[in-house]
Chains A and B, each alone.
Chain A
Amino acid sequence: MKTYTLFLGCNIPVRVPQYEMSAKSVLSGLGVKILEIREFNCCGYPMQNIDQKAFLLSSARNLALSEKEHLDMMVLCKCCFGSLKKAEYLLNEDAALKDEVNGVLAKEGLKYEGKTKVNHFLSVLFNEVGVNSIKEKIKNPHKDVKIATHYGCHALRPSKVTQFDDPVNPVLFDSLVEATGAKSIDWQLKLECCGAPMIGVNDELADDILKKKVSNALNGGADYMCTACPYCHMQFDNIQKMDSANNEKQLPTLLFPQLLGLSMGINKDSLGIGLNQINVSL
């Protein structure tokens, strides 16, 4: 199987380490090889609000670092994925822009020519490993567990740039969840934003959106929310826990590799289940 450079971004190692732990355990179980590059920097996502050039240079430097290794990239965070995809798209569309960016990267002996391709972790599982191979590895299928899949905006949209899945009727994540034996439920707000970009900016708005999504998923019969992005995870786990009043029903959250890892029989500690704020009793 192919080797990928693993792009963790800034949040995962510090604030959502269970994503890194579980993803690595699952990938090694599935035989996907990864190369870690210590020199990777911020993907530029939070800089988009402030300065487009800052975003573009940040993303491009990462692309160039991966290209130097002659490997495609695997990204865990949906927001990092969206940013890197956007940079990939912009740079490959505009040769003058690419030259300008490469002019800055040249100071460090780096260059991006457009050879490295950016993939999300879920796309690698779906396209490279395949649902059938995953099914072969399942030891404890999650029978009767109902999962609300949360796609994440920056993977789905703008679809022309991200090329992740059908932006209106995506199936990739649901198929992966169902491969673990669980049932992926239908719920109305599945493709909507989790509200995380407003955490710390407009917390009231972030909370409103969170509450709507959680109650919508609960009404749809979900036992768990399932995400594949540290921002979504922090919103559904840390913030939901912080904001829920006593007695309020909480919806526990699992990162997809945690869900998959459990069904593959990987032990809970290696998947960092205990690091989730809202108790998971799977």
Chain B
Amino acid sequence: MFFSVALYTSLIIFTVGMIYKISKWFSLNVGYLSDGVSVGERVFSAITGIIKVIFSPKIMTVIKVFVMDGILQIRTLKEDPMRWVMHVLIYWGFMLLLFMHALEKLIIKPIFPNSCSTLNPFFFLREIFGLMVVAGIGIAIYRRFILRPARLKTNAMDIYAIAIVAIIMLSGFMLEGAKMSSYSAFEDMVSDYGVDESEIPALEAYWVKDFGTVSPNELTFGEDVLQQGKESHEAYCASCHSANKSAFVGYGIAKTITPVALIIDKLRINYYSILWYIHILACFFGLAYLPFSKMFHIFATPVSLITNAVMDKNSSNKANVVTRQAMEIDACTHCGTCSLHCSAMMASEAIGNCLILPSEKMACLKKLVSAQDLSDVELAAIQEGIYICSNCDKCTVVCPSGINLKELWLNVRECLIQKWLPEPSLLSPFSITRGVNKDFRAKKDYSKPLNLTQRAMIEKFLEFKNPEGVVNIAGKDEQLNIEKTFAYCFGCQNCSTICPVVKNYENPQEVLGLLPHQIMCAMGMGLFDVASSCKMIWDCLTCYQCQEHCPQNVKVTDILYTLKNKSIEDKKQELIEKQTCGKEAA
């Protein structure tokens, strides 16, 4: 009764969860690509797409990818053999246990009608598969908590995944060991198989000696008694019970717990051992929670591998790309391979924004697309994380789940910068990807985020330009972390004369705010705010003509770099202050 209720409840939750999660693939909007694509269109395109693939030579690709990357996980092997060993042990061990042990009646019995879980080879194989999973879990724990490769982040979901599998496996082995040592199990079997009363003591002695059973009775273990017990064993038990020693882990546990076996044997609720409840409940909880946990990747990752293998960038239906990207978020296993290879990794280290790392961006995207409330500071962090990316595409190349991360980033990035806050890193060479991408240049909103950001960065300067305004220089003599070479400037204007940006304009001061020599002068006067908010610093090509030609060795270009850094830092600070003020006011 308990078993059936638990089983069906978890199965129902699992099924509903799966339907919910898969329906999300067709309704979630990831990035700007989804604009104007309806759910119906996405479902229809997916179905026609699948049918087209099935009846085309691409079906061979599907099979190949499923076997090579889904089952054999060759992509993982190529990147990290240790992780491959870990994952394959867990995956294969668990799958084999699922088919042979959990679904024994559905799968093994129909194929081998004479099979029995207590008979070899099943009895022995169960131990092997279980040990595979335990070894895999051991490697996972070692990797995540002891080895700790740089930039491999562990979140609650990763811990849950390891914990649930570990609980299932350990409770299983414990249950097996407890059952082997259990006197009540022995009594049940003896009565079930109608063992003659007179033969019981000898059989019991034999089982205590060789099978790990722990008996409360005073027994004799003479050679003749054991011989007699062995004969009874062969008559009653052997046909469906191999020697417990072949299930060596369980036997080992039975032997280890011998001193307390009788107490453990008493820990029962309605006939079943406490360990049985733990094992069963852990399995059913894992099943019910699967669609909502990282374990959902068991389904999503093969789908991601296959869709990415059959979808061609140039000819793919836009609706299918949108659906695929929603699905890819579920396919991420947070294995961290992308972050180990991320080109911008050191920016994450220096700036302290872990969202620069692809694996963390993926985890955060789940939050973003499900439209959970995010504060401006959080949004700014995501935006910065997703923009500080050199678009080297390494993450896409190494992803063991085959996720097309580069296209996902492009799509989400554009959506973010179009929608919300100014993004200072737009004004860095990271923007070259956006600039050389023809699609974006043709897009009518191409300039919108640039204008928004440029305006935000020179906001303060406009205040200073106001002739009525008051420039407050008190307290502005802050230390900038640079050599103060600007102090050597004697105003020869060589820097401004040679600057190709200044040369480009008829009335440069109007466009640029301050010219390079004026910036040096402003710095000399302690007007750091004025200097760090003029447009010149953002239009600087960093060609180093000014610095090369300065007769006074002023490091003009490097000073402009520092001013840009300061300006960005100030903007971030401003946002944080605004938010804290908002909170206090509330």
Contacts and interface: CB of A to CB of B under 8 A. Distances in A.
A57 B393 CA distance: 21
Interface stretch (B4-12, B206-214, B234-242, B419-427): B419-427
Given A41-B343, A41-B345, A242-B441, A199 B436 contact: yes
A205 B504 contact: yes
Q: Which of B150, B350, B547, B561 counts the most chain A CB atoms within 10 A? A: B350
B233 to A, nearest CB: 58
B425 A49 contact: yes
Given A53-B350, A61-B346, A197 B391 contact: no
A153 B343 contact: no
Interface stretch (A19-27, A136-144, A154-162): A154-162
B541 A197 contact: yes
A50 B501 CA distance: 20
Contact of A200 (B436, B539, B541): B436
B59 interface: no
Nearest to B427: A201
Contacts of B504: 205, 208-209
Interface string A157-201: 111000000010000000000000000000000001101111111
Contact of A199 (B341, B349, B435, B543): B435
Nearest to A159: B548
Contact of A153 (B388, B390, B541): B541
Contacts of B349: 54, 57, 104
B42 to A, nearest CB: 29
Q: Give the interface centre of A39, A61, A193 by most chain B CB atoms within 10 Å.
A: A193
A58 B346 contact: yes
A238 interface: yes
B345 A50 contact: no
B344 A153 contact: no
Interface residues of B, number: 51
A180 to B, nearest CB: 27
Interface in A24-54: 38-39, 41-42, 44-54
Interface stretch (B168-176, B272-280, B562-570): B562-570
B565 A50 contact: yes
Contact of B432 (A54, A200, A202): A200
B430 interface: yes
A193 B436 contact: no
Given A52-B562, A153-B541, A201-B431, A242 B343 contact: no
A46 B429 contact: yes
B125 interface: no
A192 B500 contact: yes
Given A51-B350, A198-B541, A10 B428 contact: no
A46 B150 contact: no
Given A14-B391, A46-B428, A200-B436, A41 B543 contact: no
A45 B544 CA distance: 14
Given A51-B347, A52-B561, A231 B542 contact: no
A10 B388 CA distance: 13
B117 interface: no
A25 B149 CA distance: 36
Contacts of A54: 346-347, 349-351, 388
B346 A44 contact: yes
Interface in B346-402: 346-347, 349-351, 388, 390-393
Contacts of A158: 544, 547-548, 555, 557
B391 A154 contact: no
Given A200-B435, A231-B432, A50 B544 contact: no
B335 interface: no
B438 interface: yes
B539 A234 contact: no
B494 interface: no
Contacts of A58: 344-347
Interface string B404-431: 0000000000000000000011111111
Nearest to B435: A200
B434 interface: yes
B342 interface: yes
Contacts of B557: 158
A3 interface: no
B347 A197 contact: no
Given A47-B388, A205-B501, A242-B438, A198 B539 contact: yes
B493 interface: no
A246 B500 CA distance: 27
Given A15-B436, A50-B565, A201-B450, A45 B346 contact: no
A203 to B, nearest CB: 6
Contacts of B547: 157-158
Contact of B344 (A42, A154, A159): A42
Contacts of A133: none
Nearest to A47: B347
A79 interface: yes
A206 B435 CA distance: 10
B432 A57 contact: no
Nearest to B433: A200
Interface of B: 150, 341-347, 349-351, 388, 390-393, 424-436, 438, 441, 450, 500-501, 504, 538-539, 541-545, 547-548, 555, 557, 561-562, 564-565, 568
Interface of A: 10-11, 13-15, 38-39, 41-42, 44-54, 56-58, 61, 79, 104, 107-108, 153-154, 156-159, 167, 192-193, 195-203, 205-206, 208-209, 231, 234, 238-239, 242
Please give me the 4 A-B residue pairs with the lowest Cβ-Cβ distance, nearest first: A200-B435, A200-B431, A157-B544, A10-B392
14 contacts: A48-B428, A54-B388, A104-B346, A156-B544, A157-B543, A157-B547, A159-B548, A199-B435, A200-B426, A201-B427, A201-B429, A201-B450, A239-B435, A242-B436
